[in-house]
């Protein structure tokens, strides 16, 4: 998906829980800023970062990996809708494998992050893949489009 698309609108509209892989506890980091924005707009943020495992980030328990996070959410009757990745491109394949293992419907690689083979692997498993895009920017665009759309036409 290269430009803002109906698929991105669908992902953002249908999702409620975002696992942020590589989320930093430092408020000056981009991952924190983006996750905080998404949380303020109604999404539940699940931090995933082995450095901060067991600690709180944005009021949520941080998990060392996606399977741990998914297991904890399943115990609450919830699931991860989007795996949002803030890791180097070369670190994407193991994250993708974990996202597939937990049957997450979408993996979203932030700006500057892409991995064609991992994307193909995820798509082959039925996942939606967004690469090299900022979820915050796309959410801001989506919200502005919703405000411009008359209620009767949605």
User: Could you report the per-residue pLDDT of 87-127, keeping only the tens digit for each?
Assistant: 999 999 999 999 999 999 999 999 999 999 999 999 999 99
Q: How confident is residue 2, by pLDDT bands cut at 50, 70 and 90?
A: very low
Helix (H) or strand (E) segment spanning residue 144: helix 135-148
CB atoms within 10 A of CB 74: 12
**Quick check: 27 pLDDT over 50?**
yes
- Predicted confidence at residue 26, as pLDDT, reads 98
For the chain, the domains span 6-153
pTM, to two decimals: 0.93
Helix (H) or strand (E) segment spanning residue 40: helix 30-40
**Coil, helix or strand for 146?**
helix
**Quick check: 13 pLDDT over 70?**
yes
Ramachandran bin of 77, using left for φ above 0, alpha for ψ from -120 to 50, beta for the remaining angles? left
- In the CATH scheme, what is the code of domain 6-153? 3.40.50.720
């Amino acid at each position: 998906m290269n430009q803002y698309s109906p698929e991105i609108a669908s992902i953002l509209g249908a999702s409620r829980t975002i696992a942020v892989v590589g989320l930093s506890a430092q408020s000056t980091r981009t991952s924190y800023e983006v996750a905080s924005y998404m949380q303020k707009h109604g999404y539940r943020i699940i931090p995933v970062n082995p450095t901060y495992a067991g600690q709180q980030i944005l009021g949520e328990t941080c998990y060392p990996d996606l399977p741990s996070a998914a297991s904890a959410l399943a115990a609450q009757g919830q699931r991860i809708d989007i795996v949002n990745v803030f890791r180097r491109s070369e670190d994407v394949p193991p994250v993708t494998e974990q996202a597939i293992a937990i049957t997450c419907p979408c993996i979203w690689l932030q700006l500057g992050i892409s991995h064609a083979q991992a994307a193909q692997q995820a798509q082959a498993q039925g996942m939606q893949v967004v690469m090299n895009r900022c979820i915050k920017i796309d959410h801001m665009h989506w919200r502005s489009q919703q405000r411009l759309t008359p209620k009767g036409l949605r």
